[in-house]
């Protein structure tokens, strides 16, 4: 986490990036600089996780006595960017196995053997 953002007075530096009216850099431009094997939503999730952490530290105040967290005044002027971005990859997701699927009749037979009370 980044607890030092507020302590060093960096909220004014961080805040413009999160303003609703601010246009953010393209996430796709960044993703396209990565190797093909890394161009996926997990990279986006890493970035969003970091931004959520920064957002929490910068735009919520914590009561020292109770630990209750409240949003800063004018909280609605800010948002976490890139939440609705979806990364489209040309690579095909690798399945968990290369074995052929079992025919349905085998699944039914195994189910009736393993869990007879659930047989229709």
Q: What is the DSSP string of 87-101?
A: ---SSPPPPS--SPP
Reply yes or no on whether the pLDDT at 79 is more than 80. yes
68 alpha-carbon distance from chain centroid = 25
Look up the pTM and report it. Answer: 0.58
Query: Is residue 72 helix, strand or coil?
Result: coil
For 115, phi and psi rounded to 5 degrees? Answer: -135, 75
Reply yes or no on whether the pLDDT at 93 is more than 60. no
Q: Mean pLDDT over all residues of the chain?
A: 78
What pLDDT was estimated at residue 1?
37
What pLDDT was estimated at residue 50?
86
């Amino acid at each position: 986490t980044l607890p030092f953002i507020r302590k060093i007075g960096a909220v004014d530096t961080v805040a413009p990036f999160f303003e609703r009216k601010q246009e953010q850099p393209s996430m796709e431009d960044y993703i396209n600089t990565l190797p093909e094997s890394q161009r996926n939503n997990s990279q986006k999730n890493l970035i969003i996780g970091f931004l959520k952490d920064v957002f929490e530290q910068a735009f919520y105040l914590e009561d020292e006595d109770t630990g209750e967290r409240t949003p800063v005044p004018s909280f609605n002027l800010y948002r976490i960017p890139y939440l609705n971005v979806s990364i489209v990859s040309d690579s095909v997701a690798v399945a968990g196995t290369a074995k052929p699927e079992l025919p349905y009749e085998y699944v039914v037979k195994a189910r009736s053997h393993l869990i007879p009370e659930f047989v229709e």
